[in-house]
Chains A and B, each alone.
Chain A
Amino acid sequence: MIRDVVVIGGGPAGLAAAIEAKKNGAEDVLIIERDKRLGGILQQCIHNGFGLHIFKEQLTGPEYANRFIDEVKNYKIDYMLDTMVIKIDKDRNIIALTPNDGIINIKSKAIVLTMGCRERTRGALNIPGNRPSGIFTAGAAQRFINMEGYMVGKKVVVLGSGDIGLIMARRMTLEGAEVKMVLELMPYSTGLKRNIAQCLHDFDIPLYFNHTVVRIHGRKRLEGVTIAEVDSERKPIKETERFVECDTLLLSVGLIPENELTREANIPIDNITSGPIVDESMQTMVEGIFACGNVVHVHDLVDYVTFESRIAGRSAAKFVKGQLSFNDKSFKTKGTYGIRYVVPHRIDPLNVDDSVNFFMRVDNVYKNVYLTVKNNGQIITKVRKAIVTPGEMESVVVKRSILEKLNKGDIEFTLEEIKND
């Protein structure tokens, strides 16, 4: 079968991209999802606070997902569940594994990659010790508790102050567990402030910065962890080691975009984001293959995933209709002085509708700075920021009219100190 647009992944990015592709004239849109339902990780994020930007109200994860699932059904967009894509290639051929038909081949005019991301596990951290039960990534525990109905433990230590860890600290407390502490390797939190306030402060759960787990104890079930303070080079300080009794360790130590398919198809990847390099249309460097959401870079708000995915879906439809222009009048974006990365990585002003929303993350906490956009040493735009932190994604909007006037050089994003007058 030949499809117009195939979307790989049925989470928030995939749903928004598929709807937008269909709305913009792609006839035959197909979503391929490996889970039993659409919705992706939002299904297990039963807490409140999604959708403030998109719907101007606070929804839970499943509610947010269901708004899009309803729209997918209204637009009669095709979807396959329990189906896993195992290979794609540059010519947009897809091989997928299905429960009933075995391996199937699908040819598509455009692909949108929306596989999301995966949590870093204990293996990625190299914490020494045995391998008892009771060690989970925060997201795995979230799925057990919120979707499967199993409680995973009673005495809990959370390693990492990522949002999922903070939210699980609250969730487990509400279900009767004792969450002893949250440990953060860095001197600042990697989670959103509002989650620290409403997940930890509400329940008097202590958060220790510059701390980590150095040893795992227990053979069958986790019996405790040895924690330690770390020095400025993040090396554990031996004298500060202490034992904390617990039966559960939740890891919330970062997310990595899930790009196995992307790599196998030889689509160029950005080493910092671990996601594909994309342009203003969310097109990867392989023609007709687009990407959006957490597979490109890890977002902290699903609303931003939706915004980005709408661009990808719209662009995929344009591509299918032959309306996406190629004139190679492309500018690269570059983050310097405090900016770790910028997405999109390349901009062709002629493909920009009205403006481009550049997303970026900073490498440290900075107060009172200008986030400045420059080209050829000239300032294009600058935004004043009272505070920027690695835990919160920053964004800057640049209008097409400005981008059109650029003639050479990279578009540079930097942080500049605000000098007192």
Chain B
Amino acid sequence: MIKKIICINCPLGCEMEVLKDDGIIKVSGNTCKKGEDYAIAEIMDPKRIVTTTAKVIGGDREVVPVKTDKEISKSFMFDVVAEVNRHIFSAPLYVGQVLIENIFDTGVNVIATDFINRK
């Protein structure tokens, strides 16, 4: 299997090709080690910080921005947003406050990234 990946580590944006065959991974097109590491991670288990908003009641805003406090497998991206959308939180909220603990048993929490005051 060959996959093309653009490296995101620096403005160079190297276009890399990753070859995966029987557990052996070969990266080409990268110009540094960081690129190789990123390409391997992208093939093995790509991870992202997911950011979205959650509904708030009684606050000076209708929604609070949130994020996963650690990277979570890319395959969970839509599930995280859907899960967050099922919740409603009450103001006040503070930056860094854990809103959903250990989402999908991944060890990752969803936290608030802005403060919301009471209306």
Contact = CB atoms under 8 A, between A and B. Distances in A.
Interface of A: 36, 43, 46-48, 58, 60, 62-63, 66, 145-149, 174-175, 192-194, 196-198, 201-202, 386-387, 389, 392
B31 A386 contact: yes
A174 B78 contact: yes
**From A46, A192, A198, residue with most partner B Cβ within 10 Å:** A46
B62 A62 contact: no
Contacts of A198: 8, 48
Nearest to B56: A149
Interface in B1-50: 5-8, 11-13, 31, 48-50
Interface of B: 5-8, 11-13, 31, 48-53, 55, 60-63, 65, 67, 74, 77-78, 81, 95, 113-115
A66 B6 contact: no
B81 A175 contact: yes
Nearest to A175: B81
B12 A386 contact: yes
B8 A60 contact: no
Contacts of B62: 148-149
B11 A193 contact: yes
Contact of A174 (B7, B63, B77): B77
A197 B49 contact: no
Nearest to A387: B12
A60 B53 contact: no
A193 B11 CA distance: 7
A260 B114 CA distance: 31
A145 B95 contact: no
B46 to A, nearest CB: 8
B34 to A, nearest CB: 13
A202 B74 contact: yes
A46 B81 CA distance: 13
B84 to A, nearest CB: 10
A276 B12 CA distance: 31
B8 A194 contact: yes
Contacts of B12: 193, 386-387
Given A66-B115, A146-B53, A174-B77, A60 B11 contact: no
Contact of B113 (A60, A145, A147): A60
A353 B51 CA distance: 39
Given A46-B114, A66-B95, A193-B6, 15 more contacts: A46-B65, A48-B51, A58-B49, A66-B115, A146-B63, A146-B65, A149-B55, A174-B50, A174-B52, A174-B78, A197-B6, A197-B7, A386-B31, A387-B11, A387-B12
A201 B6 contact: yes
Contacts of B5: 197
Contacts of B65: 46, 60, 62, 146
Contacts of A145: 53
Contacts of A392: 11
A303 to B, nearest CB: 14
A105 to B, nearest CB: 30
Nearest to A48: B49
A46 B95 contact: no
A194 B6 CA distance: 8
Contacts of B74: 202
Given A149-B55, A174-B52, A174-B77, A196 B67 contact: no
Given A146-B53, A148-B63, A198-B48, A63 B95 contact: yes
A48 B67 contact: yes
A62 B53 contact: no
A104 to B, nearest CB: 25
Contacts of B6: 193, 196-197, 201
26 contacts: A36-B60, A46-B51, A46-B52, A46-B65, A46-B114, A48-B49, A60-B113, A62-B113, A63-B113, A66-B95, A145-B53, A146-B65, A147-B61, A147-B63, A148-B61, A149-B53, A149-B55, A149-B63, A174-B50, A174-B81, A175-B52, A192-B11, A193-B6, A197-B7, A198-B48, A386-B12
A174 B65 CA distance: 14
A235 to B, nearest CB: 29
Contacts of A48: 49, 51, 67
A198 B77 CA distance: 12
